[in-house]
C-alpha cells in the first residue's frame, strides 16, 4: 500500500488511508486478476494497521462498503471450468492399471461423475446402498446395468431423489469395476439397512452402510470412521488421474465431469429429453454445461425426441452412459 501511494504521489494517504487511493489500490488487484482471498488479505492488513495507530477502519466508509459489496461474487477465486472430460479422457483413465486403493477410488469417482452427469454434491452424498446392480432388465430379460440413487439435488424441491443409470460395457466396463472396487474394499449393503424399506430414509445419509467414496489413509486403506470425501477431494482426484494419464490438468474442475457427460451425449445425438433425464435438469440450464460447438444431430433415430406419455423405455435410459464406449 505504501509503495502504491508513492507511485500515485500521495505518500500522505497511507495512514489514514484515502478512500479514493484505496479504491484504486483494490482496482489494481482486480485488473491483475488476483483472487478474492488475496485482496482480502491485503485489506485485512490495512485495517489492522489502522487499528494499531488508532485510526478508524477505512472499510467503514459508506462508499467503500457499497463498492466492495459485490467484490466476492464478481471476482470469485474459483477456477473457471474451461475443459470438459471427453470420452478419450475417460478411456485413458479407465485403462490405467490399478496401483492403490486411492487410485481405484479416484478412477471410479471420475468415471461415475462423468457418465452419470453428477454434481459434486451428489457424488459426495452417495452411500454404498445407493448402488444397485441388475435391478432393471430389457424386453429379453437381460440386465441393463446398474442404477445409482441420487439423494441430494439442487433443484429437487420435493426431496424425492432421482435414479441415474450406468449400462454394462466392454473391457473397460464401469459397472464391473465398481463391483470389484466394492468387493476389494469390503464395502457392501448392510443387512440392517432400512433405506429401501422406509421411504422417509431414502433421501438421508445412511449411517449403516456408509459412504461410497471415503477418505483413504496412505493410499491403501480407509479411515476408521469412513469419512466422506469433500468437493476439494473430487477436484484433486481429477487432477491426479489426468496427471497419471499424462494429460495437462489445467482448466479441469469438478464441473468438468458434468460438462463432459452432457457435451458427449449431445455430440452423439442424444435427445435433449434423455440428457435432462440423466442430468436432472428441469429447464434449459443444461445448455450451460454443453459445449457451443456441439449440435443436436439426429444420429439416434430410434430414440424419442421427447418423453412419451408412459415414460422412456428401460433400455433407452441407459443410452446416455453407453455413448462413452467403455
List pLDDT tens digits, range 81-128: 578 999 999 999 999 998 899 999 999 999 999 999 999 989 999 999
Predicted confidence (pLDDT) per residue in 181-231, tens digit: 999 888 999 999 999 888 888 888 898 999 999 998 877 788 777 889 988
Query: Strand runs (DSSP E) across 160-249, as ranges?
Result: 162-167, 216-217, 221-222
Looking at residue 216, the DSSP 8-state letter turns out to be E
Domains and CATH numbers, the chain: 2-74 (no CATH), 87-322 (1.10.443.10)
pLDDT category at 257 given cuts 50, 70, 90 is: very high
pLDDT of residue 27: 76
Looking at residue 6, what is its pLDDT? 41
- Give pLDDT, residue 52: 81
Cβ–Cβ under 8 Å, residues 237 and 156: no
- pLDDT tens digit sequence for 73-90: 555 445 555 789 999 999
pLDDT band at 130 (very low <50, low <70, confident <90, very high): very high
pTM of the shown model: 0.73
Spatial distance between the Cα atoms of 23 and 34, rounded to a whole number of angstroms = 15
The mean pLDDT of 3-20, rounded to a whole number, is 57
DSSP 8-state secondary structure symbol assigned to residue 117: T
User: Residue 269: its pLDDT value, please?
Assistant: 86
pLDDT digits (tens, 9 = 90+) for 32-65: 766 666 777 777 777 777 778 787 777 665 555 5
Q: Say how many Å lie between the first and final Cα of the chain, rounded.
A: 56
Return the exposure string of 235-271: e unless at least 16 CB atoms fall within 10 Å of the residue's CB, then b. bebbbbbbebbebebeebbbbbbbbbbbbbbbbbebb
pLDDT in tens, 275-325: 888 888 877 777 778 766 555 555 666 788 888 888 888 888 999 999 998
Cα(139)–Cα(144) distance, integer angstroms: 10
What pLDDT, on the 0 to 100 scale, is given for residue 310?
A: 83
Tell whether the model's pLDDT for residue 2 goes beyond 70. no
Task: Return mean pLDDT, the chain.
Answer: 82
Angle between helices 101-115 and 231-244 in degrees, nearest 10: 100
pLDDT of residue 7: 40
Cell for 305? Answer: 425426441
- Name the least confident of 57-61, 128-132, 166-170, 177-181: 57-61
- Please check the confidence at residue 156 and state whether its pLDDT lies above 70: no
Identify the pLDDT of residue 74: 55
Does residue 1 register a pLDDT over 60?
Answer: no
| Cβ atoms of 85 and 257 closer than 8 Å | yes
C-alpha cell at 180: 470389484
Amino acid at each position: 500500500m505504501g509503495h502504491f501511494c508513492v507511485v500515485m504521489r500521495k505518500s500522505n494517504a497511507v495512514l489514514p488511508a484515502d478512500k479514493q487511493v484505496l479504491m484504486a489500490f483494490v482496482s489494481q488487484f482486480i485488473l491483475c486478476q488476483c483472487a478474492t482471498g488475496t485482496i482480502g488479505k491485503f485489506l485485512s492488513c490495512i485495517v489492522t494497521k489502522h487499528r494499531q495507530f488508532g485510526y478508524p477502519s477505512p472499510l467503514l466508509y459508506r462508499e467503500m462498503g457499497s463498492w466492495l459489496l459485490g467484490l466476492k461474487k464478481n471476482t470469485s477465486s474459483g477456477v473457471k471450468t474451461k475443459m470438459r472430460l471427453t470420452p478419450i479422457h475417460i478411456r485413458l483413465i479407465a485403462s490405467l492399471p490399478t496401483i492403490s486403493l486411492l487410485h481405484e477410488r479416484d478412477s471410479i469417482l471420475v468415471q461415475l461423475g462423468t457418465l452419470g452427469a453428477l454434481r459434486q454434491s451428489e457424488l459426495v452424498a452417495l452411500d454404498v446402498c445407493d448402488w444397485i446392480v441388475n435391478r432393471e432388465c430389457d424386453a429379453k430379460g437381460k440386465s441393463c446395468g446398474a442404477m445409482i440413487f441420487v439423494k441430494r439435488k439442487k433443484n429437487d424441491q420435493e426431496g424425492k431423489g432421482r435414479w441415474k443409470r450406468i449400462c454394462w460395457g466392454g473391457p473397460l466396463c464401469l459397472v464391473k469395476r465398481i463391483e470389484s472396487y466394492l468387493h476389494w474394499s469390503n464395502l457392501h449393503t448392510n443387512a440392517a439397512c432400512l433405506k429401501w424399506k422406509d421411504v422417509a430414509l431414502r433421501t438421508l445419509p445412511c449411517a449403516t452402510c456408509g459412504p461410497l467414496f471415503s477418505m483413504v489413509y496412505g493410499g491403501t486403506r480407509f479411515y476408521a470412521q469412513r469419512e466422506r470425501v469433500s468437493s476439494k477431494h473430487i477436484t484433486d482426484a481429477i487432477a491426479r488421474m489426468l496427471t497419471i494419464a499424462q494429460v495437462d490438468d489445467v482448466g479441469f474442475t469438478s464441473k468438468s465431469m458434468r460438462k463432459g457427460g452432457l457435451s458427449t451425449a449431445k455430440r452423439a445425438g442424444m435427445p435433449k429429453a434423455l440428457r435432462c433425464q440423466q442430468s436432472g435438469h428441469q429447464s434449459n440450464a443444461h445448455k450451460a454445461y454443453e459445449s457451443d460447438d456441439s449440435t443436436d444431430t439426429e444420429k439416434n433415430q430410434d430414440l424419442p425426441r421427447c418423453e412419451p406419455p408412459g415414460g422412456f423405455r428401460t433400455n433407452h435410459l441407459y443410452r446416455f452412459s453407453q455413448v462413452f464406449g467403455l
